[in-house]
Amino acid sequence: MKIQLNTMPCFGVAGNFTGHLEQAGEAADFANVVTKEANAPKAMFPTYIPGNSEKVPEFLHTFPFEKDTIIFPKNEQKLQIEPECAIICDLEWRGDEITAVKPFAFGASNDCSIRKEGAKKISLKKNWGPSSKGLSHNLIDLDKFTEGGILDRYKIASFLVREGKANVYGEDSPVKGYSYIYEKLIGWCLEKFNGQKDEGPAEDIHTYLVEAGKPSKAMISVGATRYTDYGEHNFLADGDDAVVVVYPDNYAAEEIKKMVERNEFNDDMISVLRQRIIHNS
């Protein structure tokens, strides 16, 4: 499926896999965020907002997605893959309110992140310019975004390929293992799109959406999986390949790893994102 990602706002979900924020050293950023449930996601953050509104931080107008490259941010040292399943959604509006979020496709996403303390907003660690994020070119049609649909069968895997070896970076995780998924996630997204306040690490994304012209589509990267011990302690370096794979469970994890090492995927029902890390010296 082909989409025009640069025409739609893009978002991520913080804290939708139990344990990820702690591994990423970001739990303290959300210490004062109150959620309805203990396992609820913490916030929705923007990674790209089309347009040129002065009410949106200027850096968010830079399109950060690239299918095969991550350009290392200047003056930073710690960069990690954030392996995720992303959904492409139709948005329905009534006046200035979003009344429906309807996912129609999904695929592998790298919500690549800078690890540093003291960033006031999540988005400041997410969009540092062109080629700072990724979405697979192979998106898969959704039959329905409910239990019993195609996504029940899908898993998320990720690898750091260094010197030809595929190192398992994130825990091999079922998409249905997200804390919030399907109808519960959609309800939460509606709340955040319409009512999230500009406080703590979160932003007033409703204003951003209205300023972007009330777009009819959006991309939502649903949340990063937990890291393996290797992924938690190894950061990206020049010449590495960051790989995220969203694949059906008729494949074994070891099969996927071998496909990554061979860089050979021949099944359209597998969504793959492979990005070379390039230092911007």
Per-residue pLDDT tens over the stretch 84-101 = 999 999 999 999 999 999
Q: What is the mean pLDDT of residues 22-47?
A: 69
Q: Is the pLDDT of residue 22 over 60?
A: no
| pLDDT at residue 225, as a whole number | 94
20: pLDDT confidence band, cut at 50, 70 and 90? very low
Q: What is the CATH number of the domain that holds 167?
A: 3.90.850.10
pLDDT at position 24 is 47
Residue 78 pLDDT exceeds 60: yes
pLDDT at 21 over 90: no
In angstroms, the CA 197 to CA 190 distance is 13
Across 45-54, 111-120, 232-241, least confident range: 111-120
C-alpha pair distances (Å), 140 with each of 1, 21, 51, 85: 7, 28, 27, 11
Confidence category of residue 17, pLDDT binned at 50, 70, 90: confident
pLDDT digits (tens, 9 = 90+) for 185-218: 999 999 999 999 999 899 999 999 999 999 999 9
Write down the pLDDT at residue 232: 93
**Residues of the domain holding 142:** 5-279
Residues in the chain: 281
Q: How far is CA 24 from CA 114, 218, 256, in A?
A: 10, 26, 25
What average pLDDT does this structure show over 124-129? 94
The DSSP bridge partners found for residue 20 are none
Name the pLDDT band for 66 (thresholds 50, 70, 90). Answer: very high
> What pLDDT is stored for residue 40 in this prediction?
84
State the pLDDT confidence band at 77, using cuts at 50, 70 and 90.
confident
Q: Is 5 helix (H, G, I), strand (E, B) or coil?
A: helix
What is the pLDDT at residue 53?
Answer: 96
Across the chain, what does the average pLDDT equal? Answer: 92
Q: What are the beta bridge partners of residue 100?
A: 92
3-class DSSP assignment, residue 266: coil
By the 8 A CB rule, do 171 and 225 touch? yes
Quote the DSSP letter at residue 224: P
Q: Could you report the per-residue pLDDT of 150-180, keeping only the tens digit for each?
A: 999 999 999 999 999 999 999 999 999 999 9
pLDDT tens digits for 248-279? Answer: 999 999 999 999 999 999 999 999 999 999 98
Q: In whole angstroms, what is the distance from residue 138 CA to residue 149 CA? A: 19
Number of domains making up the chain? 1
Supply the pLDDT for residue 35.
63
pLDDT of 74: 87
For residues 279 and 238, the answer to whether their CB atoms sit within 8 Å is yes
Give the mean model confidence (pLDDT) for residues 7-15: 95
d(CA 178, CA 109): 15
Q: What residues form DSSP beta bridges with 143? A: none
Helix (H) / strand (E) element for 192: namely: helix 182-195
Task: Identify the sign of the CA torsion 143, 144, 145, 149.
Answer: negative
Residue pointed to by tokens 């306040």: 197
Check the CA dihedral 117-276-67-172 and report its sign: negative
- Give the mean model confidence (pLDDT) for residues 57-74: 96
Cβ count within 10 A of residue 119: 16
Is residue 33 over pLDDT 60? no
What tokens were used for 181?
A: 């998924």
Looking at residues 20-30, what average pLDDT do you find?
52
CA dist., res. 202 & res. 147, Å (int):
29
Neighbours of 267 (CB within 10 A): 13
